[in-house]
């Protein structure tokens, strides 16, 4: 997924910050394996125990806890990498289209749709009894050139957006569990992002998008999704005030998606659960939609244990929030991570390394789910 660099105003020396973290509830075997890897070449060669073949999957553990556990899916890897494909099918109870439902790919030329890759993912999910999160309908990024380079009046652009939302949702009607209807609409200071949509259509485009999506598929859950809203801050508060107003107006916004892109060198907010509770109290669903925890490379034991803590912060907050429905990782193996190409010198953001070896973060997720019990 293409992202801009997160503007987090947290400063601390990485080594000093990481040394203060409490180690997550991970197995001793995993910690020992991580330490052994760190003592080697100084790169991420950690391979903690994967557990026996009879161990429950993440999806099964999530079901016991009343939570869907999902992953974003790279459809090229799904087609070409058998280990990747088998892991997606085995471990997860929901999937998110990483790229193939974005406008740039579904309608590269005006009026000419290409649904093949997205349909293939939906069919794969259905064959493995997985639910599908649709990502994403309205975004400022990954738009087709004919939209961004065209000379349209505001009225024409509004009709173009209406047709896009309606056609895509209608195409997948009955097959999508949750849609990220509006993605990344806010700046970190709580103001609305200066996008093609805000400039031409005004802030009302957000409510319009939800109404259009609901008309096209009344059975789908509709989410507003953003990053840097995990804790209580200016951005999450602005989003909270917006959805509160939208719901007062009868706009069909059903949930808020907290992306959960963390980095070990910046630390993790301590009020994720308090933030989720605000939306819970509005009667809204919530979800962790894009969890990963990157680090400055090379990886070492301290960073890997801090990473596990970051994943636990997100999952734990979801588990204690009654209407938090699902926890999705933004990919599960470093082999296909978006992080190294976006954040120079950073990586190792997922729960499995490039060779599909488990990290302490995977053990932390498993143990958190095992200890959670049944929420519903």
Rounded to an integer, what is the distance from CA 174 to the centroid of its chain? 22
DSSP assignment letter at 6: P
Residues 6+ apart with CB under 8 A from 264: 14, 18, 293, 294, 295, 296, 303, 306, 307, 310
Of 262, 338, 332, nearest to 294 (Cα)?
262
Residues involved in catalysis: 184, 290
Give me the residues paired with residue 294 across strands: 263
Q: Are 288 and 229 in contact (CB under 8 A)?
A: no
Q: Are 278 and 316 in contact (CB under 8 A)?
A: no
Concatenated DSSP letters for 122-168? HHHHHHTT-EEEEEEEE-SSS--HHHHSS---HHHHHHHHHHHHHHH
What tokens does 341 get? Answer: 């190409």
Rounded Cα gap, residues 180 and 142, in angstroms: 15
Beta-strand runs (E) in the chain: 68-73, 94-97, 131-138, 178-183, 221-226, 255-258, 261-263, 285-296, 324-329, 346-347
Q: Are 256 and 180 in contact (CB under 8 A)?
A: no
3 state SS of 291: strand
Q: Are 290 and 328 in contact (CB under 8 A)?
A: yes
Rounded Cα gap, residues 35 and 304, in angstroms: 10
How big is the CA angle at 80 (ends 292 and 82), to the nearest 5 degrees?
Answer: 75
3 state SS of 116: helix
Q: Are 113 and 106 in contact (CB under 8 A)?
A: yes
Rounded Cα gap, residues 328 and 123, in angstroms: 19
């Amino acid at each position: 997924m293409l992202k801009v660099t997160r503007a987090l105003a947290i400063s601390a020396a990485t080594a000093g910050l990481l040394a203060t973290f409490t180690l997550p509830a991970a197995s001793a075997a995993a910690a020992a394996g991580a330490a052994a890897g760190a003592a080697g070449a100084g790169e991420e060669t950690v391979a903690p125990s994967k557990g026996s073949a009879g161990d429950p999957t993440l999806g099964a553990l999530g079901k016991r806890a009343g939570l869907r556990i999902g992953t974003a899916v790279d459809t090229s890897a799904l087609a070409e990498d058998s280990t990747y494909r088998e892991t997606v099918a085995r471990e997860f109870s929901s999937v998110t289209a990483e790229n193939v439902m974005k406008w740039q790919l579904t309608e590269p030329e005006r009026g000419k749709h290409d649904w093949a890759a997205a349909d293939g993912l939906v069919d794969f999910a259905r064959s493995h009894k997985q639910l599908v999160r649709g990502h994403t309908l309205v975004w400022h990024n990954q738009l087709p050139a004919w939209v961004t380079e065209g000379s349209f009046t505001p009225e024409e652009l509004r009709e173009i957006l209406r047709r896009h939302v309606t056609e895509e949702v209608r195409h997948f009607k009955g097959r999508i569990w949750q849609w990220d209807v509006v993605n990344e609409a806010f700046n970190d200071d709580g103001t609305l992002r200066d996008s093609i949509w805000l400039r031409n259509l005004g802030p009302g485009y957000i409510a319009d998008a939800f109404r259009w999506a609901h008309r096209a598929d009344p059975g789908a859950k509709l989410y507003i999704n953003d990053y840097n809203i995990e804790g209580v801050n200016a951005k999450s508060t602005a989003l909270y005030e917006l959805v509160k107003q939208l719901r007062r107006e009868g706009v069909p916004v059903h949930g808020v998606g907290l992306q959960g892109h963390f980095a070990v060198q910046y630390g993790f907010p301590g009020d994720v659960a308090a933030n989720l509770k605000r939306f819970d109290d509005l009667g809204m669903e919530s979800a962790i939609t894009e969890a990963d925890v990157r680090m400055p490379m090379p990886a070492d034991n301290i960073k890997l244990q801090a990473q596990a803590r970051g994943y636990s912060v997100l999952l734990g907050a979801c588990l204690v929030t009654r209407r938090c429905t699902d926890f999705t990782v933004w990919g599960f193996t470093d082999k296909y991570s978006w992080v190294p190409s976006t954040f120079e010198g950073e990586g190792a953001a997922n729960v499995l390394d490039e060779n599909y070896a488990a990290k302490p973060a995977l053990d932390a997720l498993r143990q958190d789910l095992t200890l959670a019990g049944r929420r519903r």
